Amino acid sequence: MKRKIVWLVVSCLMALSLVLASCGPAAPEEKEEEVTPPPAEEEEEEGEEVVFFEAPLSVGETARTSKLAVTVLEAAVTDSYEYYSRTEQKTLTKEAKPDMTFLILKVKFENLTSGPTREGLFQMRAYDSEDNRYKVGSYYGEDRMPQDRTMDPGSALYSGTLTGMVLFEVPKGASGLRFVYNFHKFPEPELLAEWKIQ
């Protein structure tokens, strides 16, 4: 009986502490500030990220911060693409759904720090002229971009660069297509680079 009372008291105290913690003051919101690159002769502080790009960029151009460089090397809008199926051991054609088309990009990441970083598909998206958002789709061809990959210039296992193909499925006739990469990971405020595709 004593055990039941002790457990009941402990459970009540835990529930009460959770309620009190959730009723505490909210964290103050941070204001977003525009970041400008420092003059060439100034040294940047350790850990401080400096931005060296302005949107929108064109295919072939690089968005660079002091920590990471991202380049859209190629872009194509197509209704189909070929890929090699290892299970069927032959080349197959992947066709877009009716009324849809593929936006296929070749994207390169370069880690500009001396330590490891993880980059991947989760920070990528595409938009059209009406601001409809498109998520990364499945690309079956060679050199597909991995979901998430460590880049470490000081490691024999991981390279400091990563290049791969990324696919978005967009409606046929969509105009004003653009690719957007978020340099920051949640919960940091977004730092977006944008490439104009069409």
Would residue 139 count as lying in a domain? Answer: yes
Confidence of residue 143 (pLDDT cuts 50, 70, 90): confident
The pLDDT of residue 187 is 74
Would residue 1 count as lying in a domain? Answer: no
Would residue 5 count as lying in a domain? Answer: no
Tokens read off for 97: 């759904």
- Comparing 5 with 110, the larger pLDDT belongs to 110
Confidence of residue 35 (pLDDT cuts 50, 70, 90): very low
Tokens read off for 65: 């911060």
Cα–chain center distance at 187: 13
The pLDDT of residue 6 is 65
Mean pLDDT of 95-112: 94
- The answer to whether the peptide bond before residue 187 is cis (omega within 30 degrees of 0) is yes
Question: How many domains, in total, are found in the chain?
Answer: 1
Would residue 20 count as lying in a domain? Answer: no
Tokens read off for 77: 């809008």
Three-state SS letters, 109-172? EEECCCCCEEEEHHHEEEECCCCCEECEECCCCCCECCCEEEECCCCCCCCCEEEEEEEEEEEC
pLDDT tens per residue, range 39-66:
443 334 455 667 777 778 999 999 998 8
Checking if the pLDDT of 38 tops 50, the result is no
Would residue 142 count as lying in a domain? Answer: yes
Local structure of residue 46 (DSSP, 8 states): T
pTM: 0.69
Tokens read off for 137: 């789709």
